[in-house]
Amino acid sequence: MMWELVGAVVGAGLASGREIAAFFSRFGYAGYAGIAAAGVVLYLLGTMRYPLIFRYAWMEKLWKILLSALLVATGGAMLSGGGEVFALTLPVRGAYWLGLLVTLLFSWLLAVKIPDGLSHISQAMMIVLLVMIGLSLFTDPQRGIYIDTGSVPACLLSGIKYGGFNAALQASVLARSNMSSPCQRRSVMRACIVITIVLCLGNAVLLRQSVILRESLPFLKVASAYGSWGYCLFAAALYLAILSTLVACVKGVKCSALSIGGILIVSFLGFTGVVEWVYPLLGGSCFVLLLYAKFSKSLAGPFHS
């Protein structure tokens, strides 16, 4: 369970360094406070019970629609990202489409044919990612972009948003477990600790290399200091992160032909378009619904008096 939760959260955005830069590193050392806030939110939302979601038909249907849409959109973004990794690493014509099809096939096999596929791919991803980040800590520091070091409240808010956003992705894994199980709570706690450690290490790398904060793939710039094998290491970490999140999405939508078709269609929108527009909107909607289900006492719904 722990590695499935890690795999669902650690996707292309984190493995590339883009999410870490956008949510935490731009605040300087205050970013660590935001990371701590994100870890706490992930744990709290991952261990809460939401009886309203399952007790009232309107909320259960809305939750299923929003979560399915989020998983399809996220899966489409990851599938497109898999194609882009192939295009970056294979100097052949049609590498993007080859990567897209291979990634879709791998995700289906890991989700359907291999019972612990998500757990195995997540562990492999974490090993490669930690090796890449660890090596990046030993590169020469290059600082050159202004960092707002005095915005602790803003950084805390950014961390809360990050935690709430990714809690919706964790829901696809948690939905298949016993929400009240002590074992499940321990798995959530361990997953949150692992994710928090990775975020802290990634933030340390980017603070040492602040000149790359605005790059679309910050960790690629750092890893390229080690030459071609550093580039390959980054590509491997990025692809495994993409695959782990995609497998979590495929498992979450129960591998239906309609859902897989939806993931394939969304992938045609491109990685950047889905991540910057569709992904935050659906993730935020799931987060708001979770908060409403936890704290609201309304029986009729949010649009009734």
Nearest to 283 by CA among 60, 42, 40, 66: 66
Q: Residue 293's pLDDT is what?
A: 67
User: At which residue do the structure tokens 């989020």 appear?
Assistant: 70
Q: One-letter amino acid identity for 35?
A: I
Tokens at 32, concatenated: 């660590």
Residues 79-117 have pLDDT tens digits of 888 888 898 888 888 899 999 999 999 988 888 888 788
> Which domains does the chain carry?
2-295 (1.20.1740.10)
Q: One-letter amino acid identity for 106?
A: F
Q: Is the pLDDT of residue 298 over 60?
A: no
Distance CA 276, CA 73 (A): 11
Q: Is the pLDDT of residue 190 over 70?
A: yes
| Residue environment code for 100-119, b if the CB has 16+ CB neighbours within 10 A, otherwise e | beebbebbbebbeeeeebbb
| Residue environment code for 202-215, b if the CB has 16+ CB neighbours within 10 A, otherwise e | bbbbbbbbbebbeb
Q: Is the pLDDT of residue 289 over 90?
A: no
Mean pLDDT taken over the chain: 80
Contacts of 248 (CB under 8 A, 6+ apart): 4, 7, 8, 118, 169, 172, 173
Share of residues in the chain with pLDDT > 70 (%): 82
Q: Residue 193's pLDDT is what?
A: 94
Q: One-letter amino acid identity for 96?
A: Y
pLDDT band at residue 37 under the 50/70/90 scheme:
very high
Contact predicate 12/77, CB 8 Å: yes
Contact predicate 21/218, CB 8 Å: yes
Residues 191-234 have pLDDT tens digits of 999 999 999 999 998 888 877 777 778 888 888 878 888 888 88
Nearest to 56 by CA among 299, 302, 303: 299
Q: Is the pLDDT of residue 181 over 50?
A: yes
Q: Mean per-residue pLDDT for 164-185? A: 72
